[in-house]
Structure 1
Amino acid sequence: MVPDATPDSSVSSPPFPAALLPTLLAVSLSAVNLLRPVYGPGGPEIVDFSFDYLNPAAQRITGLPERPGTTALARFPEMVVNGVFDFYRRTYQSGEPGTFDVNRQSDGLDNYFRLAAQRCEDLLVVSFADTADHPRTPVEEALRAAQAAEQTARADAEAQRQRLHDVLLDLPAFVATYRGPAHTYEYVNRNFQQALPGRSLVGRTVREALPEEGQAYLDLLGQVYQTGEPFQGQEVPSLVDYTGTGQLEQRYHNFYVQATRDPAGTIDGLLSFSYDVTEQVEARQQLHLLNQELEARVFERTHDLRHAQAEAVATAQRLLRITESLPSTTFTVDQAGQVLYISPQWYAYTGMDPGASVNEVWPTLIHPDDLPVIAREFGAALAEGRPWRYEFRLRGAAGHYRWFASQGEPEPLAEAEQAGRPRQWFGSNLDIDDLKQAQYAREQQEQRLTNILTSLPASVVTCEGEELRLTFFNDTFQQFALGRAVLGRTLGELFPEAVEQGYTGLVHGVLRTGEPFRASEVTSYVVDPRTGARKETFLDLTYLPLRHGTEPPHAVLTFSLDVTERVHARRERETQQLLLLAANEALTESNHRLTRTNNDLDTFIYTASHDLKTPISNLEGLLHALREEIPPELLQGRYAPRLLGHMQGAVDRFKLTIAQLTDISRLQRASTQPVESVDLATLVADVRLDLAPQLAADARLVVDVAACPRVTFAPKNLRSIVFNLLSNAFKYRHPARPPHVELRCHCAEDGTVVLDVQDNGLGLTHDQQGQLFGLFRRLHDHVEGSGVGLYMVKRIAENAGGTIAVQSTPDVGTTFTVMLPAPARAA
């Protein structure tokens, strides 16, 4: 439902994305073709259309690729016969959109297609859908039945034409057909051609083929062609070179000429039928040879009769073979229901012994639920002398039932009475199981669709006619109606407030124009009929017209989704976003102050370390000078050397602390160092050389970096990580065993580089592990150190987006695991 108002012209629709059209063509369930006209040589006439593009649905239906590289008539020549090509050409030339329905019965298909076409610049856009995927209207079903009957009649006519052709071919007479006003021979039977040996007749005019006939014969043919009145002549003489020797021979014929017409009733040719009666004429002229001639004629007639009888038998055999090759079972029954004949298809399907009685066996093969229908329909048809039509299930030899359609026609009663026998019915059983299964699948699909619509969280309603009477509604709409009776009522009767708010007017607009209507988050209210309270809601609305084919809409399908919670949630979220924005601004200001503080701290550390270097250097120089001034005997004493050593150690530790303070101040800028592809094995080898003075003779270092030979990282930072971890591993060795350190590296599935350093040293307690990465934190005092190394490793790893973890057991050893991000993240 939407408010009663015309669309707001101030609200413009959003621009469509560029990928919308390709996406729409890709997901469309309708087939779409882009055709380009092909013109004849040197002229504007369109002789074909080439395929420029087929969307996936068109590719599925036609079996062609997206760009076939061929033309429409080359791939589908039947388009000329079924009118599709004329529809394409007419639509392109007129520039007006058009639709066309066609029943395609080729390539194994027997389906209706509905085509819609419109010209777009120099292309023809064609959309079509296979209506076999949708329920057919009664008109379509009637049309299909009519076309099926037409096909059956055409097949019967073709069979009859073939039989007539065979009869005419061997008929002991002269039969010919002529085409056009020039009387061109279109067909001559065998006797006609044999009577004129050496002459080519078919395709030639009478004047060309029989010039000796003269103008009188041509005038006779022309008169029949012009007037349509048939001509019949008895013992018509003719002088023709029958032997091909140039000698004219006079013969006599009984002659009949009749005009032929096209389907529109226009004369388009002639049919001539004649037979040679020369012998009869000459017999009358020669009475003394009458007996001999009569004997010859009797003999000839007997021969012809036998030949005709043989032809009749051959024709009957051909008809039997045709019957036995049909996909349906044919049979003949009498009025008592006794099966007189049944084709072999019955025995092949049922597995029944051809010697068994069909009347005794067939009731056991019919599905029990269908026997009453057959008994009623079949018996009534025989008793009333009328046709029958019904469907039933028949069990095959494999034990499975399949659906068949049975139909039968009675022979004319007069024919049965004339033959002196009971009336017969001619029937057939056609396998329609695939059709029934498809029909069942469609019904199931429709039921699933109904179930889906019924269970949708949106209100779904169908409003029929100008009254907008409700013919379908789902459960959500029933809840929305607040206990009101829905079915059969109009929208205005059910919701008077819908009229006030203009919803019924909008639905009428969709019904009148056929254009869908959509709106989002429309403010609406519903009155509770039980309490009279008004409840405000927000709805997303979609009104869709429903129509049969190209007819005007007869109903409107409405979708109403209650988005009240979404609107309230969005408003709440917008309020929270405003509060969050204010908090973010305050946090940003705090970050700026913290950044300035950090910068000031870095500057202080750098300045302090730089300013302390000079006095410490001076102090170290004074210490050396003092050592030079002390008398040798004092240097050999008990206290002086020890005090000087303590003083020098303090100076060295102070210098190391200043250097490490400088390094800490640089950590803030460490993440900005450029990354490179570092050879990890070479880097570890260089660190090992630097550590050589600290390694005892029994120390062992195992390096396994084959899984990640190159690491993308800042070289100086990676070297600092490896140096500090290996240095600590050897520095905090266990006094009871030689140090054994392993450095391993591998890559995780997401590209993360995992670096492990494992030792067998002193190990750490759980409390010590929690303090390990603190600045100036030292957990063992028996070796030199400042407590800065692991702090720097942690800062370097985290600044690069990585992590460091430790696993340790006292008196067993420690494993450090550094995870460095994949190259893309590091970049």
Structure 2
Amino acid sequence: MLEFLKKIFEGDFIPHGHCYFWKPEILWSHVIADSLISLAYFSIPFSLYYIFRLRRDFLYGRLMLLFAVFIFGCGATHLVSVVTIWNPVYRLDAFLKIITAFASIATAIILIKKTPQILQIPSANDWRRLNSELKNSNEKLKESNEELLRADEVLRKINSELEERVKYRTEELEASILQFKFMTDSISQLVFTVNEKGEFDYFNLNWYEYSGLDSKQSFQKGVFEITHPEDLEELSSFWRRALQEGTVFRYTGRLKDKASEEYRWHLIEANPLKDSFGKVVKWFGTCTDVNAEKIYRKELERTNNELKRINTDLDNFVYTASHDLKAPISNLEGLVNSLSLELQNSKYPQEFDLYLNMMKNSILRFKTTISELSDISKIQKDTEEDVDLVDIRELLDEILLVHHDTIITARTQININLKTTQISFSRKNLRSLFTNLITNAIKYRSPMRRPEITITSEIINDILILTVSDNGLGIETKQIDKVFGMFKRVHTHVDGTGVGLYIVKRIVENAGGKITLNSTVNIGTTFSIQLPLGREITL
């Protein structure tokens, strides 16, 4: 082998031209052909190297290198074939062919292994199709990107609007909180709020000034911290019930004032704020100082009790006085009547008749006054005795029959127009009411015209209205206020006690009604009685 390599460049053989008999046409055709082939082979490796240099992403670099060696070897063998025509260096030629053979075998083996992978490389049509698809995809992506840009722009605008709204709402909320705080700090009440869990979470300045507590103490127990021990259990019970039921809380209890160390009465109220599902989300509460009102009510209650006692004593006195005076008056009346009978058969001065009549009239007025005082005593007690279904027309007929002589003597015309005929009422009181109004209308009639009395009844807005109108003397406006007073009289030219209209007013008011009058001098007077329909009414 060493001998072969040492003599690799020696031409100790017959030149290859002898095989061609040195014929020019044969010789030069091989020379030219092998030279061109060799030149072409030599150029191919350089092209492959250039491609490999520019395309670093090519996956088959080693295969390309083997191809370059193989092709370069082929070019070398063709070039040596030209040389051996004149210089028989067949050892060099053999050596180059051996190298070329190894390179070609290696290239073939690797090519066979890589053939499936190479076949998977897309063809030009595939690349064109893929390129077209990529272009389409790119166009779609471009359109999508434009849509995304437009959507992004819209989202930016929406986000900007939302940020503005949030900013506005935040400012509005902050303003509302400031306004709420300013409002609650400006009022005299103690204000607090409670969350949905029943925990105190806000107090106004008046609370801290009144209670003397700090925020930590206030939030822990709230109003319970300064509640009077006697009120604490009941207050806590009512508050727990309000929390469970979600209802308005209201309680009057005593809260301790830190400044005076005194407990003052407060009306404690809390109203629940509910969402659309009816669930309580917040409680808003106030503590209103009602200490003065509470003391005033206690004093008023004491005064009322005292007045009731006085009225009871007065009623008892009136009843006793009227009852005790009846016997002496009856005795006096009997004595006067006996004296009158004795004097009928005797001669006596004529003025005795005048004196006797004056005595009889005085006794009659005395008896009337005692009777009316007895009626006042009964009415003052405001009893509901003897309430019955009364036929108004029937009762009026009875009254007119009793006072028939008086009505005929005065030539009085009675007009009755009843749209409501029956009422559940005290028959005795209703008789007294109508009797007083009718007899007053006759008593205070105008001498200028025939007396006329109109009685009506109707229902307006669930109120029974009874009216008694006359065309009598009438009452001056300045005198109207004292008409219903006890022992008050407007006209003194006829006898009277001044208690009739007082009795009428008390009967109406004891029944929960109201009486008014409208009067014009020398034209007449109308009394209007309004009774609520809490009583049974029949049309």
Per the TM alignment, residue 748 of structure 1 is displaced from its structure 2 partner at its CA by 1.9
Partners of 1:803 and 1:523 in 2: CA distance: 49
Per the TM alignment, residue 520 of structure 1 is displaced from its structure 2 partner at its CA by 4.8
How do residues 682-697 of structure 1 correspond to structure 2 at under 5 angstroms?
682-696=394-408
Per the TM alignment, residue 794 of structure 1 is displaced from its structure 2 partner at its CA by 0.3
Deviation string 1:695-733 (CA, Å, 9 cap, x unpaired) is 13632111111x212212222111211111111112211
Residue 532 of structure 2 corresponds to 821
Residue 415 of structure 2 corresponds to 702
How do residues 52-63 of structure 1 correspond to structure 2 at under 5 angstroms?
none
Higher relative contact order (CA 8 A, sep 6+): 2
1:522–1:540 Cα contact (<8 Å) kept = no
Establish whether residue 613 from structure 1 lines up as the match of residue 292 from structure 2: no
Residue 486 of structure 2 corresponds to 775
Residue 647 of structure 1 corresponds to 359
Partners of 1:748 and 1:476 in 2: CA distance: 51
Partners of 2:472 and 2:136 in 1: CA distance: 105
2:441–2:453 Cα contact (<8 Å) kept = yes
1:757–1:816 Cα contact (<8 Å) kept = yes
Partners of 1:603 and 1:807 in 2: CA distance: 35
1:700–1:740 Cα contact (<8 Å) kept = yes
- Please give the TM-score of this superposition, normalised by the length of structure 1: 0.33
Residue 475 of structure 1 corresponds to 171
Establish whether residue 522 from structure 1 lines up as the match of residue 235 from structure 2: no
Partners of 2:271 and 2:457 in 1: CA distance: 57
How do residues 199-348 of structure 1 correspond to structure 2 at under 5 angstroms?
none
Partners of 1:772 and 1:587 in 2: CA distance: 29
Deviation string 1:655-694 (CA, Å, 9 cap, x unpaired) is 1111111111111234322432222111111111122111
Establish whether residue 627 from structure 1 lines up as the match of residue 306 from structure 2: no
User: Partner of 1:785: helix, strand, or coil?
Assistant: coil
User: Partner of 2:515: helix, strand, or coil?
Assistant: strand
Larger radius of gyration: 2
1:680 aligns with one of 372, 383, 392: 392
Deviation string 1:601-645 (CA, Å, 9 cap, x unpaired) is 11111111111111111111111222233364535x431111111
Per the TM alignment, residue 600 of structure 1 is displaced from its structure 2 partner at its CA by 0.8
1:711–1:753 Cα contact (<8 Å) kept = no
Residue 502 of structure 2 corresponds to 791
Per the TM alignment, residue 742 of structure 1 is displaced from its structure 2 partner at its CA by 0.6
Residue 300 of structure 2 corresponds to 587
1:518–1:541 Cα contact (<8 Å) kept = no
Per the TM alignment, residue 521 of structure 1 is displaced from its structure 2 partner at its CA by 3.4
1:381–1:387 Cα contact (<8 Å) kept = no
Partners of 1:746 and 1:385 in 2: CA distance: 88
Partners of 2:301 and 2:383 in 1: CA distance: 21
Change in CA separation of 1:685 and 1:517 when aligned onto 2, cut-off 3 Å: closer
Residue 599 of structure 1 corresponds to 312
Partners of 2:272 and 2:367 in 1: CA distance: 77
Partners of 1:524 and 1:817 in 2: CA distance: 54
1:671–1:800 Cα contact (<8 Å) kept = no
2:423–2:535 Cα contact (<8 Å) kept = no
Residue 663 of structure 1 corresponds to 375
1:670–1:717 Cα contact (<8 Å) kept = no
Change in CA separation of 1:798 and 1:476 when aligned onto 2, cut-off 3 Å: same
Partners of 1:540 and 1:728 in 2: CA distance: 56
Deviation string 1:69-121 (CA, Å, 9 cap, x unpaired) is xxxxxxxxxxxxxxxxxxxxxxxxxxxxxxxxxxxxxxxxxxxxxxxxxxxxx
2:423–2:536 Cα contact (<8 Å) kept = no
Change in CA separation of 1:753 and 1:671 when aligned onto 2, cut-off 3 Å: farther
Code of the residue aligned with 1:701 in structure 2: it is I
Residue 92 of structure 1 corresponds to none
2:456 aligns with one of 731, 744, 748: 744
Change in CA separation of 1:481 and 1:765 when aligned onto 2, cut-off 3 Å: closer
Partners of 2:177 and 2:382 in 1: CA distance: 67
Partners of 1:759 and 1:609 in 2: CA distance: 33
- Please give the TM-score of this superposition, normalised by the length of structure 2: 0.50
Change in CA separation of 1:519 and 1:664 when aligned onto 2, cut-off 3 Å: closer
Establish whether residue 803 from structure 1 lines up as the match of residue 496 from structure 2: no
Change in CA separation of 1:385 and 1:737 when aligned onto 2, cut-off 3 Å: closer
Code of the residue aligned with 1:722 in structure 2: it is F
1:759 aligns with one of 457, 467, 470: 470
Structure whose residues are more often strand by fraction: 1
Change in CA separation of 1:802 and 1:385 when aligned onto 2, cut-off 3 Å: closer
1:762–1:812 Cα contact (<8 Å) kept = yes
Change in CA separation of 1:598 and 1:382 when aligned onto 2, cut-off 3 Å: same
1:712–1:823 Cα contact (<8 Å) kept = no
Partners of 1:710 and 1:384 in 2: CA distance: 97
Partners of 1:383 and 1:634 in 2: CA distance: 152
User: Partner of 1:778: helix, strand, or coil?
Assistant: coil
Establish whether residue 720 from structure 1 lines up as the match of residue 432 from structure 2: yes
User: Partner of 2:376: helix, strand, or coil?
Assistant: helix
Partners of 1:664 and 1:672 in 2: CA distance: 15
Partners of 2:169 and 2:479 in 1: CA distance: 71
Per the TM alignment, residue 475 of structure 1 is displaced from its structure 2 partner at its CA by 2.8
Change in CA separation of 1:480 and 1:666 when aligned onto 2, cut-off 3 Å: closer
Change in CA separation of 1:597 and 1:477 when aligned onto 2, cut-off 3 Å: same
Code of the residue aligned with 1:758 in structure 2: it is S
Code of the residue aligned with 2:336 in structure 1: it is L
Change in CA separation of 1:785 and 1:800 when aligned onto 2, cut-off 3 Å: same
Deviation string 1:372-409 (CA, Å, 9 cap, x unpaired) is xxxxxxxx9999599999xxxxxxxxxxxxxxxxxxxx
Partners of 2:470 and 2:320 in 1: CA distance: 38
Code of the residue aligned with 1:478 in structure 2: it is E
Partners of 2:531 and 2:472 in 1: CA distance: 25
Deviation string 1:267-306 (CA, Å, 9 cap, x unpaired) is xxxxxxxxxxxxxxxxxxxxxxxxxxxxxxxxxxxxxxxx
**CA RMSD of superposed structures (Å):** 4.4
Change in CA separation of 1:630 and 1:579 when aligned onto 2, cut-off 3 Å: same
Change in CA separation of 1:714 and 1:535 when aligned onto 2, cut-off 3 Å: same
1:519–1:540 Cα contact (<8 Å) kept = no
Code of the residue aligned with 1:645 in structure 2: it is N
Code of the residue aligned with 2:326 in structure 1: it is K
2:417–2:455 Cα contact (<8 Å) kept = yes
Per the TM alignment, residue 594 of structure 1 is displaced from its structure 2 partner at its CA by 1.2
Partners of 1:819 and 1:540 in 2: CA distance: 39
Per the TM alignment, residue 758 of structure 1 is displaced from its structure 2 partner at its CA by 0.8
Code of the residue aligned with 2:304 in structure 1: it is N
Code of the residue aligned with 2:524 in structure 1: it is G
Partners of 2:177 and 2:370 in 1: CA distance: 81
Per the TM alignment, residue 767 of structure 1 is displaced from its structure 2 partner at its CA by 2.0
Partners of 2:346 and 2:301 in 1: CA distance: 68
1:742–1:758 Cα contact (<8 Å) kept = yes
Change in CA separation of 1:385 and 1:823 when aligned onto 2, cut-off 3 Å: closer
2:196–2:281 Cα contact (<8 Å) kept = no
Provide the aligned length of Structure 1 versus Structure 2.
310
Partners of 1:712 and 1:747 in 2: CA distance: 14
Partners of 1:687 and 1:387 in 2: CA distance: 108
User: Partner of 2:490: helix, strand, or coil?
Assistant: coil
Change in CA separation of 1:525 and 1:639 when aligned onto 2, cut-off 3 Å: closer
Deviation string 1:278-335 (CA, Å, 9 cap, x unpaired) is xxxxxxxxxxxxxxxxxxxxxxxxxxxxxxxxxxxxxxxxxxxxxxxxxxxxxxxxxx
| Runs of 5+ consecutive residues of structure 1 not aligned to the other structure | 1-379, 390-445, 455-460, 462-470, 483-515, 527-533, 545-558
